[in-house]
Each structure stands twice: as structure tokens, then as C-alpha cells.
């Protein structure tokens, strides 16, 4: 514990000194506090831990909840999930969101994403079903896509109106949102009113220039993503459309809304899939937030832009579902 505190103090001092020497933030618009937090995140995220340790560490982050939603664990067929409902004293919009957590397809759960999801619930008034889909390397692609299809069928069987429903996800969950929508479209299933992607990982070949251009700003790195990609792809090539939806035929998908940070390494992943969607005749909105890092929504307790993005997401979910009725 003392060693960790000492490393954090040294890291903060180093970052502070560099900022003083530059006489400017690393990224235009970053506050001093933001630069410290992001700078400390980078070496912590880059530690090479086992998948099991990474899963436990990420789950612990989700325990920092503020009681903004009512949580209700539920079984979705063979899968674990949890409802996150608006509090009784808040306004409900009647929308259902199937939410797919991030974590490189290898880590994460409804527990790890409780803090971010409850803020989304409070901002939208929607009920979120957060799914524990199967993870790699134990269950490589396309296992998680099949799990989303199972969860969607379960929701339809519960009587939800697909016109008042959304499939959404962040990071790897954003990519999984797209891959699952492609699978549901191919199967002729009723589709949700909206697909919402936050900082989606859509190209597991890592071909985007932003992986290099933004590497000094974001806490994600090529080495981290390379390992996740290999685990998730399994025996499939990295450019298989199920693995990397940036290469998929997106024809027939519902409207898409994509939020991405202008300073994150996955910026080009969002640009690629948005361009593909537009070429395939899909209504798509690419919402780039200048100076923001990967899934900055998760830092909403610290960064005002994180909460602002969550509120924008909530407004979009409600608006699109109203338009589709």
C-alpha cells in the first residue's frame, strides 16, 4: 500500500513538473486535475496482469456507486445480468436499454460498470439490462454475439417494444453492439430503435492512424489491445466482420449514434465504422468530443465532460425512441 502511494506521489510530481515546463496542458482544454488523473492511469492500465487479476481489479472500480439506480440481478437464460432501474422518485421514460460493457472482450461485468451505468440511468430515465456475456479467451468470438442474441430474444419475450429499445455499449461493448446488430439483422429479428456506441472498438487489426497519433494522450496502448484482440479472435482472422465490425456489411441496421473522444486511440475505429455505415445506407451520427480520452464517461465524477456526454446520451436515447413510435 505504501509503495503504491509512493509511486502515485512520484508520478503526480513528475506530471506536474512536465506541465510547468511546457507552460500548457498536454491536450488543449485539459485541466491540471485531468492531466494528473490521466497520467496516473496510463502506467496502471499498462501493467501486464493475468486475466483473472484484471477482472477483479475492474470489478472493484464498479463498486464506486452513488445509489443513482435500483439494481436487480436476473438470469437471462444461462447468462447472468442485472437490471438497473431509475429510482422511484425520478421520471421514467419507458425505454429499455440492453447494455454491453467494455473490457477488451476479456474483462468486465455488470459489476464493473455499475458506476457508469447508474449515471446513464439517471440521465435518461431508462431501464438498463447489463449483460454478463461470455468473455475471451475462454469463449472467443462469436460466443458473445450469440449471447447478445439470446438476451435480445429474452427481452422480446418479456414484452418489450423494440421501437422503445436501444442496444448500447462502450469500447469492446460498442463493437459488440454493432456485430450483434448485424447478426440480428441477418436473422430477420425485430431491431431496436437505436444502436448507441461509446468509443467503440471496431477494427481489431489496429490499422487506424489514431493508434499512433493519440498514443501520448490516451491510457490505452497498442500492446494492451493486441493481446485482447488475439484472445477474442481465437481461430478467426482479425479482419473477420464478426470480430471487427468496421469490415462488416451494415446494410439494414437501425440508426447509429457514436460518441468518441478526439484524443483517444480508437478515434479512427469510430470514423471507419461511421463511414462504412453511411456507405451502406445507415443513418449514423458521429459525435466527436475534442480533447477527450477513451470512454471519458467513466471519469464523470472528476471530468465535467464525462457527465455532459452521459447526459447527451440520455437525451438522444429518449429522443430517438420517441421519434420511432
Measured distance CA(283)–CA(256) in Å, rounded: 6
Measured distance CA(293)–CA(212) in Å, rounded: 14
Strand partners, 131: 81, 100
Measured distance CA(131)–CA(116) in Å, rounded: 14
Nearest alpha carbon to residue 181 among 145, 151, 147: 145
Nearest alpha carbon to residue 189 among 224, 221, 223, 154: 154
The catalytic residue positions are 171, 264, 294
Measured distance CA(15)–CA(216) in Å, rounded: 13
C-alpha cell at 76: 437471462
Amino acid at each position: 500500500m505504501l509503495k503504491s502511494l509512493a509511486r502515485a506521489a512520484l508520478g503526480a510530481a513528475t506530471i506536474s513538473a512536465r506541465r510547468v515546463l511546457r507552460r500548457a496542458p498536454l491536450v488543449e482544454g485539459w485541466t491540471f486535475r485531468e492531466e494528473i488523473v490521466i497520467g496516473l492511469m496510463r502506467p496502471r492500465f499498462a501493467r501486464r496482469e493475468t486475466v483473472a487479476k484484471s477482472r477483479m481489479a475492474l470489478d472493484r472500480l464498479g463498486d464506486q456507486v452513488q445509489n443513482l439506480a435500483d439494481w436487480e440481478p436476473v438470469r437471462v437464460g444461462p447468462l447472468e445480468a442485472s437490471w438497473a432501474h431509475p429510482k422511484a422518485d425520478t421520471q421514467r421514460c419507458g425505454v429499455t436499454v440492453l447494455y454491453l460493457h467494455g473490457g477488451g472482450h476479456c474483462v468486465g461485468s455488470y459489476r464493473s460498470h455499475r458506476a457508469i451505468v447508474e449515471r446513464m440511468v439517471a440521465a435518461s430515465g431508462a431501464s438498463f439490462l447489463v449483460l454478463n456475456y461470455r468473455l475471451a479467451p475462454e469463449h472467443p468470438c462469436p460466443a458473445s454475439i450469440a449471447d447478445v442474441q439470446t438476451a435480445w430474444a429474452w427481452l422480446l419475450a418479456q414484452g418489450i417494444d423494440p421501437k422503445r429499445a436501444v442496444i448500447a455499449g462502450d469500447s469492446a461493448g460498442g463493437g459488440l453492439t454493432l456485430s450483434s446488430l448485424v447478426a440480428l439483422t441477418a436473422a430477420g429479428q425485430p431491431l431496436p430503435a437505436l444502436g448507441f456506441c461509446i468509443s467503440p472498438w471496431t477494427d481489431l487489426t489496429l490499422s487506424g492512424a489514431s493508434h499512433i497519433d493519440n498514443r501520448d494522450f490516451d491510457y490505452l496502448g497498442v500492446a494492451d489491445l493486441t493481446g485482447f484482440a488475439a484472445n477474442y479472435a481465437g481461430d478467426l482472422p482479425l479482419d473477420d466482420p464478426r470480430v471487427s465490425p468496421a469490415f462488416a456489411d451494415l446494410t439494414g441496421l437501425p440508426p447509429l449514434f457514436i460518441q468518441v473522444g478526439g484524443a483517444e486511440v480508437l478515434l479512427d475505429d469510430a470514423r471507419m465504422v461511421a463511414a462504412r455505415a453511411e456507405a451502406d445506407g445507415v443513418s449514423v451520427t458521429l459525435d466527436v468530443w475534442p480533447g477527450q480520452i477513451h470512454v471519458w464517461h467513466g471519469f464523470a465524477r472528476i471530468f465535467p465532460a464525462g457527465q455532459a456526454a452521459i447526459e447527451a446520451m440520455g437525451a438522444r436515447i429518449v429522443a430517438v425512441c420517441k421519434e420511432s413510435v
